[in-house]
A and B are shown apart, each in its own frame.
Chain A
């Protein structure tokens, strides 16, 4: 009888030889051939979206309206999960060379897709006499929302187009402020600090829940008069960033604020319960607070983000854009037409009313429908007014990794692990190393 050991040995050598053969002769055989990008669905213009609830219904209704009004390849809206999931799916699709015609994306996502050659710059469509947007009409968009979609790393081309925009704002709980004897909203960070002291003194509550977030840090740096990047160099080791981190650390040390678990909306719940006076979040959170208001009575409002004494108001611009991918000329053209349709004057206003997002065109302010809406809900107008001074965050390739580093640094400061000065020094060094990677 043949020994078991010997059989094992034979099988082992057989597979060892197989592995060596595959590795020698494969030379990249597992990688797909570079034949160019193709559409995911040749008979439909697939749009990967992340919207839920009202926003999803609105987009689907608009896609149907577009398909009826402009006959041709139909737009098909597919919910592709959250932003992180869409990012992964698009990355995998790029690798498989089968792409949706268009997808929602943040600037940091688009800047990762561009080097693969899968993204279509929209400048040509935008300037086309037949299907473009006139200069006058284009000037109606707030400059910040367009600037955010031009990529300095890639010839300043328009690789994405704004869709749903929001800004970082300060939410205040009027009940807590009244209980603390505070009548107005803070204009400067000094006011904000004094308000928190009053809240603590009068109610014993920590008045502010800090959500660890890179965009909030960016906005605070701007509001202290600082900058985040210069070319591909970050400026985190600056007096302004140190001031931001020192300010936040002081709030923790003096027990005026606490940190919520990242990725949760614990601050929103505490806010609705009247446990905190302030939270800093995206203006799109308005819808969620309106829903919470139906469950429990609490009075709240929205104010612009405070700024450092001696500086001017500023905030950061949020929200996804639309990216068109290389598929077929016909699909790309249909995708652009849909982008143009979605950002028309009428649709921008409807989009703002139906969802928590803000209109991205200046002319929207004169729209009677929107004026009626703002009269009913005056707080909803605040984010629109903030658009005047909103600034986009950097859209450099590799920024996503830098964002995580900023959040890690913020946690280091807030858990009092190190001094703001040291944290800023380390952060700048690490972030620059990432941005300098080939």
Chain B
């Protein structure tokens, strides 16, 4: 009797859960799940600008043998490695300083948040003018300070090659063109990190600070022993969101990456690779295969992050 009641309860709970989840499925199924199936199915078929023969996993095999795929994956990883830490560290530093001032906090918060809410393409156009090798702001500044001017978005050489005066071969590391796009992206998105960190800092109970001060703790000690541990959920959230965003970045690449050869492929990330293969060249199956790979790649990274977070993230 007890068993059957428990079983009924189980079924009832499962049914309630499904009923409550139903409204979200109404959106998720047609706009996320079905397109995902469609993309997966497309990835198993050949044909150009059309659905040809069933080829199984051949499109995945072609991708893994294609140097352009590996180049775009490398660009994607470089980009994430440059933008995620820079955005978060800059965002945290500014949020920390803002949390310590009593006047003008709202003004600065808005000031830093404005780029984030501005259209990526619109501000990218302004940055494109800044990066103009002939008449741009950056070369004007470099020239005024007596440094050699740069080609910025047109420069396929590695940043390390340029910084070391040619000691490192030009093909190593991210290109200057990619660094330019990363710099733009950090400027464009760090405002979001500032706002989220500020919100995180404001939730730390005042008593913790008071107790620490009574015990004679200094600002740096408070930062590393109280604020940082209590902000680990915020860090986790931002790292996850920023990492996914950087791996899926499209607008800033599309708007800033020169169309003529995309700086010899040094500014073609996986999203642009998918876009060009799928839309421009019509390899629907191949484009879908790379898209599915990217989804799995992101999911795997997110899963690893969540596993890692169990050890290091501290919840109050």
Q: Is the CB of B134 within 8 A of A266?
A: yes
Among B10, B40, B280, the residue within 8 A (CB) of A400 is B280
Given contact pairs A2-B10, A11-B18, A30-B38, A261 touches B132 in the complex (Cβ within 8 A):
yes
Q: B131: which A residues are within 8 A, CB to CB?
A: 261
**Contact: B261 with A417, CB < 8 Å?**
no
- Tell me the smallest distance from the CB of B291 to a CB of chain A, in Å: 15
B170 with A115: CB separation less than 8 A: no
The interface stretch among B48-56, B81-89, B94-102, B211-219 is B48-56
**B153-161, B186-194, B201-209 - the one binding chain A:** B153-161
B115 contacts chain A at the CB level, 8 A cutoff:
no
Q: Is B173 an interface residue (CB 8 A)?
A: no
* Pair B258/A30 contact, Cβ less than 8 Å: no
Would A411 and B17 be within 8 Å (CB), given that A2-B10, A28-B45, A266-B132 are in contact?
Answer: no
B1-53 interface with A by 8 A CB criterion: 9-10, 13-14, 17-18, 21, 34, 37-38, 40-42, 45, 48-51
A411-B154, A415-B155, A417-B170 given; A91·B282 CB < 8 A: yes
* Pairwise interchain contact A417-B37, C-beta atoms closer than 8 A: no
**Contact B263–A411 (Cβ < 8 Å):** yes
Do the beta carbons of B261 and A212 come within 8 Å of each other? yes
Task: For the complex formed, measure the closest distance between the CB of B82 and the CB atoms of chain A, giving whole angstroms.
Answer: 21
Residues in A neighbouring B280, C-beta threshold 8 A: 84, 87, 400-401, 404
Please, which residues of chain B bring their CB within 8 A of the CB of A404? Answer: 260-261, 276, 280
Task: Tell me the chain A residues, 386-438 only, with Cβ under 8 Å from chain B.
Answer: 397-398, 400-401, 404-405, 407-412, 415, 417
Number of interface residues of A (CB under 8 A): 49
Q: How far is the CB of A76 from chain B (nearest CB, A)?
A: 25
> Is A178 at the interface (CB under 8 A from chain B)?
no
**Are B154 and A415 neighbours in the complex by a CB distance under 8 Å?**
yes
A2 touches B48 (CB 8 A): no
Cross-chain contact A259 with B41 (CB below 8 angstroms): no
Is B281 an interface residue when CB atoms closer than 8 A count as contact? yes
* Pair B259/A263 contact, Cβ less than 8 Å: yes
Task: Provide the residues of chain A in CB contact with B41, threshold 8 Å.
Answer: 23, 26, 28, 30-31
B151 in contact with A212 (CB, 8 Å): no
Chain A's nearest CB lies how many Å from the CB of B296? 14
- A118 to chain B: closest CB distance in Å? 9
B172 at the interface (CB under 8 A from A): no
* Residue A22 lies at the interface, judged by CB distance under 8 Å to chain B: yes
Whether the pair A11, B17 counts as a contact (CB closer than 8 A) is yes
Q: How far is the CB of B132 from chain A (nearest CB, A)?
A: 7
B154 contacts A88, CB within 8 Å?
A: no
Please tell me if the beta carbons of B260 and A88 are within 8 angstroms of each other in the complex.
no
Minimum C-beta distance from B168 to chain A (A): 15
**A288 CB–B CB distance under 8 Å:** no
Residues of A within 8 A of B40 (CB): 23
Interface flag for B229 (CB, 8 Å)? no
The A-contacting residues of B in range 42-84, CB under 8 angstroms, are 42, 45, 48-51, 54
Closest CB-CB distance, B227 to chain A, in whole Å? 31
A28 and B45 alpha carbons, distance in the complex (Å): 9
| Chain B residues whose CB sits within 8 angstroms of the CB of A405 once the complex forms | 261
Q: How far is the CB of A35 from chain B (nearest CB, A)?
A: 14
Given A6-B10, A116-B50, A400-B280, the answer on whether A417 and B260 have CB atoms closer than 8 Å is no
- B200 contacts which chain A residues (CB < 8 A)? none
With the chains together, A263 CA to B132 CA distance in Å? 13
- Contact call B261/A410, Cβ cutoff below 8 A: yes
Q: Which residues from chain A contact B134 at a C-beta distance below 8 Å?
A: 258, 260, 266, 270, 275
* Contact indicator B260/A411 (Cβ below 8 Å): yes
Cα of A94 to Cα of B155 in the assembled complex, Å:
38
Contact with B along A1-40 (1 / 0, CB 8 A): 1100011001100000001001100101011000000000
Residue from A88, A94, A263, A417 in contact with B50 in the complex, judged by beta carbons closer than 8 Å: A94
A113 adjacent to chain B (CB < 8 Å): yes
Known contacts A113-B49, A415-B157; A261/B10 CB under 8 A:
no
Shortest CB-to-CB span from B259 to chain A, Å, is 4
Contact partner of A258 (CB less than 8 A), chosen from B14, B133, B281, is: B133
Residues of the A chain whose Cβ atoms lie less than 8 Å from the Cβ of B133:
258-259, 261
Q: Are B154 and A261 in contact (CB under 8 A)?
A: yes
A409 (CB) vs chain B CBs: closest residue? B261
Q: B233 within 8 Å of A by Cβ?
A: no
Q: A95-B50, A115-B49 are in contact. Are A412 and B156 (CB under 8 A)?
A: yes
Within 8 A of B (CB), among A346-384: none
Q: How far is the CB of A261 from chain B (nearest CB, A)?
A: 5
Q: Are A19 and B10 in contact (CB under 8 A)?
A: no
A239 interface hit (Cβ, 8 Å):
no
Is A175 close to B, CB under 8 A?
A: no
> Which of B18, B258, B264 is within 8 Å of A263, CB to CB?
B258
- Choose one: A95, A212, A261, A270; the contact of B128 (CB below 8 Å): A261
B279 interface residue (CB < 8 Å to A): yes
| Residues of B close to A266: CB separation below 8 A | 132, 134
A112 on interface, CB distance cutoff 8 Å: yes
Q: Mark B290-316, 1 if CB is under 8 A from A, else 0.
A: 000000000000000000000000000
Q: CB of A227 within 8 A of chain B? A: no
Given A11-B17, A259-B154, A261-B132, the answer on whether A2 and B38 have CB atoms closer than 8 Å is no
Chain A residues, CB < 8 A from B156:
411-412, 415, 417
CB-CB under 8 A from A212, the residues of chain B are: 258, 260-261
Give the Cβ gap from A211 to chain B, nearest Cβ, in Å: 8
**Considering residues B156, B261, B264, which has the most beta carbons from chain A within 10 angstroms of its beta carbon?**
B261
Task: Please determine whether A262 and B45 come into contact, CB atoms closer than 8 angstroms.
Answer: no
Chain B CB within 8 A of A213 CB: yes
7 A-B pairs besides A1-B13, A28-B41, A112-B282 with CB distance below 8 A are A2-B14, A30-B42, A87-B279, A113-B49, A115-B48, A261-B132, A417-B156
24 A-B contact pairs sorted by A residue (CB < 8 Å): A6-B10, A11-B17, A11-B21, A19-B37, A28-B51, A87-B279, A91-B279, A94-B49, A95-B50, A115-B50, A258-B134, A261-B131, A263-B258, A263-B260, A400-B281, A404-B280, A407-B259, A411-B264, A412-B156, A412-B261, A415-B151, A415-B156, A415-B264, A417-B157
User: Hey, which bits of chain A sit against chain B, CB under 8 A?
Assistant: 1-2, 6-7, 10-11, 19, 22-23, 26, 28, 30-31, 84, 87-88, 91, 94-95, 112-113, 115-116, 212-213, 258-264, 266, 270, 275, 397-398, 400-401, 404-405, 407-412, 415, 417
